[in-house]
Amino acid sequence: MIKALTLNFFKLSLFVFLTLSLFAEKVEITSDAMKAQDVQKEVHFTGNVTIKQSQSWLHGNTVIVYFDENNETNKYEAIGDVTFEFKQPKSFYKGSADKVTYYPLKSQYVLVGSAVIDDLLNKRHVNGDEITLDMVTGNANVKGNRKKPVKFIFDMEKSQ
């Protein structure tokens, strides 16, 4: 019974993935192992996980993909030694964190634990305990603490 539910959820997830691929950019996830959980509407990828979409990528030890009641992807959660590059026409971010959560409907990333983002186009660097990055607006909210305050580094143009 559980095996059949897992297989059905996997087929449904694959169908949703293929359908979304027709209307949005293709998302490719590779890993050493995968486990689909029908009741929780989750797919767990473990071991050397890489997510690729267009020119962007994310790598982590574990990634959990969460689906809503319509079997649409509503959240990706990458855990353990997460590194990434997020590229869009007007932005290019590179960084790392202990955990990264992505909300595709809001195009928002939340980085937690030793969070670092380098804005390669604007030559800026920020790090803190938690960073929320909105890919639509380019806004970032950063939280630190007394022992590890927020750090923001940027280049100033020389005046002539």
Fill in the DSSP letter of residue 104.
T
pTM, two decimals, is 0.77
Tokens describing residue 90: 């007007």
Query: Would you say residue 77 has pLDDT above 90?
Result: yes
Query: Would you say residue 88 has pLDDT above 90?
Result: no
User: For 134-154, what is each residue's pLDDT tens digit?
Assistant: 988 888 899 887 777 787 677
Residue 104: Cβ-neighbour burial (10 angstroms; 0-12, 13-18, 19+): middle
Q: For residue 23, what are the β-bridge partners?
A: none
Query: Would you say residue 117 has pLDDT above 90?
Result: yes
